[in-house]
Amino acid sequence: MNARKEKVCQEEMCADQWEALSPELRAQCATFVYCPFCANEMVTRCSACNETIHDFGFRYCPWCGADFGE
């Protein structure tokens, strides 16, 4: 199974605002440290299982085993 490391805001109230962004703009936001909508710190999650990834060097998700294959 392939997955991506996605940078996301943990606040549920921001989800609709992030979804309204175009995929291109969302990709450009991947380097953000703080959410532009609520100012909370962004986290990196596995796109397959949505668990938080703490080490950006992982090739596989430690929670579900998905291959990040970047």
The pLDDT value recorded for residue 34 is 95
pLDDT in tens, 6-51: 888 989 899 899 989 998 888 888 889 999 999 999 999 999 999 9
Instruction: Please name the residue ranges forming H helices in the chain.
Output: 15-20, 23-28
Give the integer Cα–Cα distance in Å for 49 and 64: 6
pLDDT category at 69 given cuts 50, 70, 90 is confident
The answer to whether residues 50 and 9 touch, using CB atoms and an 8 Å cutoff, is: no
Structure-model confidence comparison of residues 1 and 20, the more confident one: 20
pLDDT category at 70 given cuts 50, 70, 90 is low
Distance, CA of 61 to chain centre:
13
Backbone dihedral angles phi then psi of residue 2, each to the nearest 5 degrees: -100, 145
Tell me the pTM. 0.72
**Sole residue written with tokens 């299982």:** 49
